[in-house]
Amino acid sequence: EIVLTQSPVTLSLSPGERATLSCRASQSVSSYLAWYQQKPGQAPRLLIYGASNRATGIPARFSGSGSGTDFTLTISSLEPEDFAVYYCQQRSNWPLITFGPGTKVDIK
């Protein structure tokens, strides 16, 4: 099983600040990595797929980078609606997809 580790666990920032979230894989997943946003009581929403491609309708302030074992999700300037939990997910050894434990971005 490919284990994903996310850091930090919690990120406390103010609106307008830049958020940088990290996801590390226990072995190379090439570029087969996605990022999701989840708000309380809602389903996850796909933000980034293939490590760096924005999903349909996702604002340009969200960007993804990385390959192999180290990945980053960047939110260039936090909007009030961006405070949520973010998960990374790998599909390198599909169908055994796995998710990271999540990073909570909360308001400072």
Partner 1 sequence: QVQLVDSGGGLVKPGGSLRLSCAASGFTFSDYYMTWIRQAPGKGLEWVSYISNGGDSIYYADSVKGRFTISRDNAKNLVYLQMNSLRAEDTAVYYCARENWYPDIWGRGTLVTVSS
Residues that bind partner 1 (CB under 8 A): 34, 36, 42-46, 49-50, 55, 87, 89, 91, 95-102
| Closest CB to partner 1 among residues 24, 91 | 91
| Structure tokens, 69 | 């074992």
- Tell me whether residue 52 or residue 98 sits nearer to partner 1 (CB atom): 98
Q: Could you tell me the smallest distance in angstroms from the CB atom of residue 20 to partner 1?
A: 20
**Would you give the end-to-end CA distance of the chain in angstroms?**
35
User: Closest Cα partner for 105 from 31, 3, 26, 9?
Assistant: 9
Which are the contacts of 41, defined by CB distance < 8 A and separation ≥ 6?
none
34 or 105: CB nearest partner 1: 34
